[in-house]
Structure formats: C-alpha cells, structure tokens
Amino acid sequence: MSDDEAKGQGAGPAGWRPQTGLVRGGTRRSPHGETSEAMFLTSGYVYESAEQARDRFAGEAEGYIYSRYGNPTVTMFEERLAGLEGAEACKATASGMAAVFASLMCQLRAGDHLVASRVLFGSCHVIVSDLLPRYGIRTTLVDGTDPAAWREAIGADTRAVFFETPANPTLELIDIQAVSDLAHEVGATVVVDNVFATPLLQKPLEFGADVVVYSATKHIDGQGRCLGGAILGTKEFCNETLLPLYRHTGPAMSPFNAWVFLKGLETLDLRVRQQCDNAETVAGMLSAHPAVARTLYPSLPDFPQADLAARQMLRGGTLVAFEAPGGRDGAFRLLNALEIIDISNNLGDAKSLITHPATTTHQRFPPEDREAVGITEGLVRLSVGLEDVRDLCDDLSRALDAI
C-alpha cells in the first residue's frame, strides 16, 4: 500500500498511518506506565465521594460507572478501531451478531421498514426475516447486486438498509455508494457489515454508509480465541441512538476479550496482507483447475463484479468460494480429503478453514432460496490463512484429485 493509499485508509490520531494506529491508537497507560495495554478486569468502580458518584450518573462528570456501560480496556479497543475505520465513535459488543442486532434494533420501531440484501450470513438472515418482524418492523429482501431492486424497495417509510459486502458466502458485492445515495433520499440509515473486507481493504463510510459493523471474532482476533463485535458511526448515532439500548440490554464486550482484540489489531495489517497474497494464489490455482467449475474471488478477472471490486476494495480479501464437483457428496469428499485445511465455520483465522455453507452456516435457508442466491450443494467457502501457500495449493489439489 502506498503512503497516499494509506492516508486515505483511515489514518489515526495526529495523522498517523493505519499501521501506527493499529499498534498505538487509543492507548491509555495507568500510573504504573506499563508497555502492554492494561487489562482492567473489574465490573464496577468506586468513587471519591457521594457527590462524584451522583455527577457521573447524571452525566456531569467524566469517569466509569459500571463495565456494562464502559471499561478502560474496552475503551482502548473502541478508540483504536475507530481510528482505523475513520469513524467518530465505536461501541464494542459481546459478539458480531450482538453488533448487527443492536445496530438495527436501536433505530427501528414498530411500523418502520428495513430493506436488506438477500445474501446474508444465516444468523443475519434470521434477524431480518424472523426477529425484527416480531416487533412490528416490516422487512424486504432484495437482490443486492441490482440497483433497480433497491430503488423499488426503498420507500418513504424505510428507516434503515442493511447489507454485507462481500457477502457470506458467495462474495457477492454491493455498490455501497449507489445504495447509500438511494437510502439517504428518504433519510434512511445505511448499515454495512464489513467483516469480509476488514477495515484495511474497504471503508464503507467513505462510500456513504452511516454505520459499520464487525465480528471482531474474525480477522481482528485472527487466532480463534475470543468472541466480540463492534459498531462504528458518528458520535450522535453511538451516543444518542445506540447507547440507550446498549446500556440497558447488556451486549457489552468483556475486558479480557477487548485486551485480546487489542493485541490482534497490532498484527492485523501484517496478517491480512499475507492472507490476501495467499488467497490470490489459491484462487488462481482453483480457477485453473479442470475439476472446479466456478471460482469466486473479487480480484479474479472473471469475477462477475470485478469492476466494482476494483472501485471500492483495495484487494480481493481472504475468502475464496468455489464449486466442488459432484454436488454435496463431492463437496463432502473434498472436505474430508483435506489434510492441512480444517473444516470449520469460522473465518479470518491464521489457520485455513473450509466449510460447506448449505449444511452449516446457511442450512436454515430453504433449498430453493439457497439455489436462488448461488449457494449450491457443491459450493464451499475457504478462509485462507497464513500457512505456506504452496502447501495449501498442494492440499487442495490432492483433495480435488481424490474426488
């Protein structure tokens, strides 16, 4: 990444470039002057006087009240991630799904309308199609790649739109700027799940989005240790719209997990760069393999939305999807024949992981709905890790030969 690209990709405080912000952003040292960020494993806080307690609860004095509301270690993580994203504020959550649900539920009321793309992670689909309608919120799913579908679905009562780009698991892309422009015409808030791209490869706020959500469990941790999530946006959204629901429903991140994520952020750039290098090589190998009918990776020349990928992403990312020969049976044989790559529904890990979406992450979808969005019985999703890419290609080639 050039200096100019880095400056445009979320420089931190005092003009820091992203790599510096990932190591030092948000750091708050205690009087002990520790090098590593301190881990404040406390649920509550004491006050110097009854008056100080009163003033903090009234919002008239700075300071912590209860770790469900805020915690010094969690604050460091929030400030570091906000600096990377280029957002005014961030609230950390207990999981990525807590971030998705809170970002939508905090702003929607009975009678409101939400428009979402139809290619969503399974649990996101449940929130949009099942949970939100229980509260009287009308939801519409659209073909996210079709601008006309968004224009037709977004109306005067639309209060929010939600989508993933790249989407799970087909890597379908959505034009963030185009959808944001349509949503803003009616005053709707645009919420983008940016987990596949990471804040290093795509900046939804720069393309008009209002809110960005992450599962920190994925690339931010990057080593399969902790659950966590994050919601990023303006101070007004985070402090006035989100905070009342956040405080009283309790989706707060634990201080220990926040500390792990701080350590993860320090190496995020190094890991994602190498994972992208590996993914590009793996995608090229798979696309040339005679047994693979379809390979989906945003930076491949034959990717259906290659132009959009080049416009709003710096690189193709760490995920590759491809069609195993022989449908479900072939996909299962492929997964079972792998010796290095692990079968797991997680992603963004240092270890390469592979899953069969139709029977795992998207098994709740009716078969006809899966087929309609390209989640075929032979589709597998590969999260490319940090192993030697030659070993990964050899592992995949052996498994493909086995079926």
CB atoms within 10 A of CB 330: 18
For residue 371, the model assigns a pLDDT of 84
Strands, sheet with 379-383, edge to edge from the N-terminal-most edge strand: 295-296, 319-323, 379-383, 353-355, 342-343
Distance between CA atoms of 389 and 34, rounded to whole angstroms?
A: 38
Ordered per-residue pLDDT tens for the chain, 403 residues: 343 443 334 445 667 898 999 999 999 998 999 999 999 999 999 999 999 999 999 999 999 999 999 999 999 999 999 999 999 999 999 999 999 999 999 999 999 999 999 999 999 999 999 999 999 999 999 999 999 999 999 999 999 999 999 999 999 999 999 999 999 999 999 999 999 999 999 999 999 999 999 999 999 999 999 999 999 999 999 999 999 999 999 999 999 999 999 999 999 999 999 999 999 999 999 999 999 999 999 999 999 999 999 999 999 999 999 999 999 999 999 999 999 999 999 999 999 999 999 999 898 888 888 888 889 999 999 999 999 999 999 999 999 998 8
For residue 366, the model assigns a pLDDT of 85
Q: Where are the domains of the chain?
A: 268-402
Is-contact 12 266, C-beta < 8 A? no
User: Which amino acid, residue 74?
Assistant: V
For residue 6, the model assigns a pLDDT of 36
Domain at 268-402, CATH from 1.10.1040.10, 3.90.1150.10, 1.10.3720.10, 3.90.1580.10 = 3.90.1150.10
Is-contact 104 114, C-beta < 8 A? yes
Look up the pTM and report it.
0.94
35: left (phi over 0), alpha (psi -120 to 50) or beta: alpha
Question: H-type helices in 250-338, by residue range?
Answer: 255-288, 306-312, 327-337
Distance between CA atoms of 344 and 337, rounded to whole angstroms?
A: 14
How many residues in total does the chain contain?
Answer: 403
Distance between CA atoms of 21 and 104, rounded to whole angstroms?
A: 29
Closest CA to 313 of 351, 272, 265: 272
Site of tokens 């469990």: 217
Pairing of strands 295-296, 319-323: antiparallel
The partner residues of 343 in beta bridges, in order of sequence, read 354
User: Which amino acid, residue 57?
Assistant: F
CA 334 from centroid of its chain's CA atoms: 27
Closest CA to 241 of 309, 160, 357: 160
Scored b (16 or more CB within 10 A) or e, 19-40 reads bbbbbebbeeeeeeeeeebbbb
For residue 400, the surrounding DSSP H or E stretch is helix 389-402
**Alpha-carbon separation of residue 34 from 37, 180, 360 (angstroms):** 7, 43, 43
Residue 374, CA atoms < 13 Å, CB-side half-sphere: 21
Coil, strand or helix at 269: helix
